[in-house]
Amino acid sequence: MNGHICGTGAYAPKNILDNQKLSQIVDTSDAWIQERTGIVSRHLVLEEDTVTMATQAAKKAIEMAGISAEEIDLIVLATCSAKRLLPCSACEVQKEIGAIHATCFDLNAACTGFLYAYNTAQAYLQSNLYKTILVIGAETLSRQVDYKDRSTCILFGDGAGAVLVKAKEQGMFSMISHSEGEKGEVLTCEQGDYIKMNGQEVFKFAVRNVPNVILEVLQKNKMKPDEIDYFILHQANKRIVEAVAKRLQVDIGKFPMNVKDYGNTSSASIPILLDEWNRKKKLKPGMKIIMAGFGAGLSWGATLIEW
Ligand code: UT7
Q: Does the pLDDT of residue 128 top 90, yes or no?
A: yes
89-121: burial string, b at 16+ Cβ within 10 Å, e else: bbbbbbebbebeebbbebbbbbbbbbbbbbbbb
List Cα–Cα distances, 303 to 49, 79, 106, 119, 130, in angstroms. 28, 19, 20, 8, 20
pLDDT at 149: 95
Give the active site residue among 111, 119, 153, 189. 111
Residue 28 confidence class, pLDDT cut points 50, 70, 90: very high
Q: Is the peptide bond before 298 cis (omega within 30 degrees of 0)?
A: yes
Catalytic residue, candidates 209, 237, 264, 278:
264
Q: What angle do CA 198, 201, 205 make, to 5 degrees?
A: 135
What confidence tens digit (pLDDT) does each residue in 174-205 have?
999 999 999 999 999 999 999 999 999 999 99
| pLDDT tens string 45-85 | 999 999 999 999 999 999 999 999 999 999 999 999 999 99
CA distances from 120 to 66, 259, 260 (A): 23, 26, 30
Catalytic site includes residue 278: no
Which of 112, 203, 234 has most ligand 1 atoms within 8 Å of CB, for mutation? 203
- Alpha carbon nearest to ligand 1 atom 47, residue: 28
For residue 18, which phi and psi values (nearest 5 degrees)?
-95, 170
Mean pLDDT of 27-36: 97
Establish whether 234 is a catalytic residue: yes
* Residue 237: active-site member: no
Q: Residue 1: pLDDT above 90?
A: no
pLDDT tens profile 255-300? 999 999 999 999 999 999 999 999 999 999 999 999 999 999 999 9
How much helix, strand and coil, in percent to the nearest 5, is found in the chain? Answer: 45, 25, 30
Q: Is 188 in the pocket of ligand 1 (CB under 6 A)?
A: no
Dist CA 42 CA 40 (whole Å): 7
Check if 236 has its Cβ closer than 6 Å to any atom of ligand 1: yes
